[in-house]
Structure 1
Amino acid sequence: MTTADGGDGAVLSALSHWQAQGLSVRLVTVVQSYGSAPYGVGTLYALNAQGQEAGVLAGTCLGSWVKTRTGRIKERRVAVITAGSADGLDLPCGGRLEFLIEDNPDPDHVCEWRMALGTRACIRRTIDTAGGRPLLAAASAREPCRWTGHLWQGIYGPDWCLLLVGADAVSAHLARIAQTLGFSVTVSEPRAEHRAGFPAGLGTVTEAMPDDAVMALQPDARTAIVALAHDPRLDDLGLWAAAPSAAFYVAALGSAATHARRCARLLSLGLDPAAVLRIQGPAGLAIHSRTPAEIAVSIAAALVSHRRCETHARTDFHAT
């Protein structure tokens, strides 16, 4: 079981799965990042005694280096290692990373952590390398991550979610890309023939109407919603519920003229003008995309841009 999914929930799920099998495991956390290092503070990476990995470092050269270094740590519950030119590893970016290594973290603690994130709350996790059980507490997304050299306080939010209205070729390509970006994908598609043709393994497909799907998801600041149904009756329903929500990105496919008509319809139905202005249309970055795959790439790029803008605006928050 190896996954490159960057979501904290996916890493913790893998960790729990391995522990349930009785495997020896290690949890690795980036606690310090210098220069243009490729992984942010708070990034999680897990591995087990069979060499399986989970997290964004899985399958990378840096992940292999960390795996080798952690293998040299003997009989230490918690340890710290650094990666950089002075440590025998020249990162392409010239940066340096500091890792906190936890040997066989308490399974009950990992389960409690997973359950807390499952409520879509922000969590502060505190661990002291000098000893003691790690602590979990409710936190604000604006709290900073802190590393003193022996005390780590990480702020973790729930996994990123993407709701797609409509199941078609663009949705399939976008779902596939979004999963590699750490998004949990849900597709709202009331049309049976479209659901039948949607590839398996690209997220949860529901026959719920788009507005019901939005409300069931309870969008928060780590949720994006994109209307791709090519049917105003479905797209408008989803946007009606999504635009006033806390979702960090709300968008719809279609030309500028189509979007203008869409906004006029939503305004005529009484949707608040400020909410209508939140809807990006056409969805995606302007890269002259034409094919379904290209359109999906442009929307995925917009998701990354908006996600990074949000998390950089509060640079103290760990974004997986």
Structure 2
Amino acid sequence: MDSIDLEVLKTASAWIAEGHRAELVTVVKTWGSSPRPIGATLAICDDGRVVGSVSGGCIEDDLIERVRAHGITRTVPELVKYGITADEAHRFGLPCGGTIELAIEPIGRDSGIDQLLERLEQHQLVARHVNLQTGAAALDTAAPGMQLEVRDGVLTTIHGPRWRLLIIGAGQLSRILAQMASAMDYHVTVCDPREEYRATWNLPGIEPVHAMPDDLVIDMRLDHRSAVVALTHDPKLDDLALMEALKSPAFYIGAIGSRANNAKRRERLKEFDLTDEQIARLHGPIGLYIGSKTPAEIAVSIMAEMTAVKNGVPQELQVQHADALARQQAESNAGCTI
């Protein structure tokens, strides 16, 4: 499963290869409330086909209507604002006071899209620089933490996996979680020294690594854009990964298991000379409470908690929402009859 960014680029590349003209549209600035974040993209083909999103629908409809009526006429990029007035905000479905600035760039074989895709296939983090006067594009390696910007007439966009996720275990839950994380711009690594699990792994683009978890954690040099999730249910493997990960700056570290098993795990981790503060960073039981039962539901809960932590949602707010969900489920179950 590709991220939205990658899907847009791949589709645009295919249109160009078929001989179509296309435009790449990027959200470069927002004021007030906006339905899509800075960096969101869409591509539009000269026949009106579109992939991606910059507003959730209404601005896309306007862009498609203009292309169908006039074709793709731009020869150089253009910055366009939507939602400047209250009437326009209402017309384009923007929240009250919302304004979006878009970069609309005509792209072709010389726009470097294929070269960008080649580098993304190698899991590189890439900066793409577009001269807004001429349309000339250039690529280079992006530094961690770089953001989209428009400076001195050049639009710089960042592409590739901005985050890393190490999954310990190559079971069914790991496969589903890896798919979800890949779609959310994570570079996913799956580690499992057990041959029987690696032999049945089937997820194109992600091959499980045969290594001991603690060794791989050290070799990856985890940083503040990294997460580690231990999913084997085998303390010999999960604890090895956790004892090293909890010493790292990784923003999220979680382990599957019940409250009782995680309490025992925390006691075991004390034997590895970890401090109470380091052990307190462990998310276990893993995931936000959503009543998960199936592997897919558990994967959703894990990604939800990872996203909340990544976005700085306070722990107490996460707990409040979890408690509210639990109460709603209990009330719903109490009202059910069979």
Q: TM-score range by the shorter chain?
A: 0.7 to 0.9
Deviation at 1:287, TM superposition (A): 3.2
Which of 264, 268, 272 is the matching residue for 1:269?
272
Which of 166, 191, 206 is the matching residue for 1:188?
191
Change beyond 3 A, Cα 1:255–1:12:
same
* Structure 2 partner of 1:25: 22
Deviations 1:263-299 (A, max 9, x none): 3323322345544333221211133434433322211
CA contact (8 A) 2:123 2:187 kept: no
* Structure 1 partner of 2:158: 156
Q: Which amino acid aligns with 2:75?
A: R
Deviation at 1:38, TM superposition (A): 1.5
Q: Which amino acid aligns with 1:208?
A: H
Deviation at 1:36, TM superposition (A): 2.2
1:86 aligns with 2:85: no
Deviations 1:197-244 (A, max 9, x none): 44x347513142333444565544433221111111111222234333
Bigger CA drift: 10-19 or 224-233? Answer: 10-19
Bigger CA drift: 242-251 or 154-163? Answer: 154-163
Change beyond 3 A, Cα 1:175–1:66:
farther
CA contact (8 A) 1:243 1:250 kept: yes
1:205 aligns with 2:202: no
Deviation at 1:22, TM superposition (A): 5.5
CA contact (8 A) 1:225 1:251 kept: yes
CA contact (8 A) 2:58 2:93 kept: no
* Structure 2 partner of 1:43: 40
Match of 1:46, SS state, is strand
* Structure 2 partner of 1:229: 232
Separation in 2, partners of 1:235, 1:249: 15
Separation in 2, partners of 1:119, 1:205: 13
CA contact (8 A) 2:44 2:50 kept: yes
Which of 166, 170, 174 is the matching residue for 2:173?
170
CA contact (8 A) 1:222 1:248 kept: yes
* Structure 2 partner of 1:289: 292
TM-score, structure 2 as length reference: 0.70
Match of 1:309, SS state, is coil
Deviations 1:30-49 (A, max 9, x none): 01223321111122333445
TM-score, structure 1 as length reference: 0.74
Change beyond 3 A, Cα 1:307–1:53:
farther
Greater relative contact order (Cα < 8 A, sep 6+)? 1
Q: Which amino acid aligns with 2:297?
A: E
Which of 3, 6, 31 is the matching residue for 1:5?
3
Match of 1:206, SS state, is coil
Bigger Cα Rg: 2
Separation in 1, partners of 2:229, 2:94: 35
Q: Which amino acid aligns with 1:90?
A: F
Separation in 2, partners of 1:115, 1:245: 31
Deviations 1:10-42 (A, max 9, x none): 544555565566653322110122332111112
Deviation at 1:185, TM superposition (A): 3.3
Deviation at 1:56, TM superposition (A): 5.1
- What is the count of residue pairs matched by the alignment? 304
The CA RMSD over aligned residues, in Å, is 3.9
* Structure 1 partner of 2:262: 259
Separation in 2, partners of 1:203, 1:157: 18
| Identical-residue share of aligned pairs (%) | 33
Deviation at 1:157, TM superposition (A): 6.3
Q: Which amino acid aligns with 2:76?
A: R
Q: Which amino acid aligns with 1:168?
A: G
Separation in 1, partners of 2:305, 2:26: 28
Q: Which amino acid aligns with 2:37?
A: G
Deviations 1:122-156 (A, max 9, x none): 74x554533363566777666665458x8455463
Q: Which amino acid aligns with 2:207?
A: V
| Consecutive unaligned residues in structure 1, runs of 5 or more | 311-320
